[in-house]
Amino acid sequence: MNRRAPELALLTGFLLAVPIAAFAGWASGDVTPSLLTGVGLLYPFALYAVYHDDDPTTVLPPRVVAVVGTLAGLVLVGDAVATAGARLPVAVLRGTFLGLLVAAPTWAYGVVYTPARRLPDGRAFLVAGGVAGAALLLAGLLVATPFGAASALVVWVLGALAARVAGFYATEDSRLVAVGVGVVLGVGVLFAALLAGAVSTAAVLSSVALALAPAVYYGLTVETASFE
């Protein structure tokens, strides 16, 4: 019974999430809330199954999980665009943030449970996460929405952690320097906004994201420093 508990938990999650999300979508006609409701119901059961299963890849192939998560995220972005109205850029960034919340856990699962030899070089994850996060942060500042910075924070942390799983180990000194640089950049963005008289929620959250991303990465990896 204990051996089958993870599979039963996953099945329970599906049986709860799919009908409820489908009914919510049919009754309300709102795609985003319905999909998020289903995901919110499913993910805790999936997390339990992955954590307690000795080899979850037999039930949840990493590539399939990552693809399904990506498609679900794209549905949220597409729904945001379809219902955008006049403020399309803001809607796209809002949909991107919600899509990342749905897709990022599946990407993380895909990276962790894919054999290391089949993963790209860790630096590729780091560079991709850095560039994508910077683009999202800049887009959020340009259209004055905090969703850009929130999305950037998710992408930066996910990219850095994926790089570590793929074999890129930054030294403790490098991580500490990154924390300092993040704080400086965050203060710089906030100071520039003050000088320009354009202090907004987007500017404040952008400065927080810049300062927080390296600190979160350092905090999540500091316990393994002694093993490097």
Give domain status of residue 21, yes or no.
Answer: no
**pLDDT of 173:** 87
Structural contact between residues 62 and 113, judged by C-beta atoms closer than 8 angstroms: yes
**pLDDT of 198:** 73
Give domain status of residue 8, yes or no.
Answer: no
Q: Range of 94's domain?
A: 61-227
Give domain status of residue 196, yes or no.
Answer: yes
Give domain status of residue 87, yes or no.
Answer: yes
Give domain status of residue 164, yes or no.
Answer: yes
- Which of these, 151, 137, 212, 152, lies nearest to 182 by C-alpha position? 212
The number of folded domains in the chain is: 1
pLDDT tens digits for 197-222?
777 888 899 999 999 999 988 888 77
pTM (two decimals): 0.87
Give domain status of residue 48, yes or no.
Answer: no
Coil, strand or helix at 100: helix
Q: Does residue 167 come out as left (phi exceeding 0), alpha (psi in the -120 to 50 range) or beta? A: left
Give domain status of residue 4, yes or no.
Answer: no
Give domain status of residue 10, yes or no.
Answer: no
Spans of the chain below 50 pLDDT? 1-2, 226-228
pLDDT tens digits for 69-92?
999 999 999 999 888 776 888 999
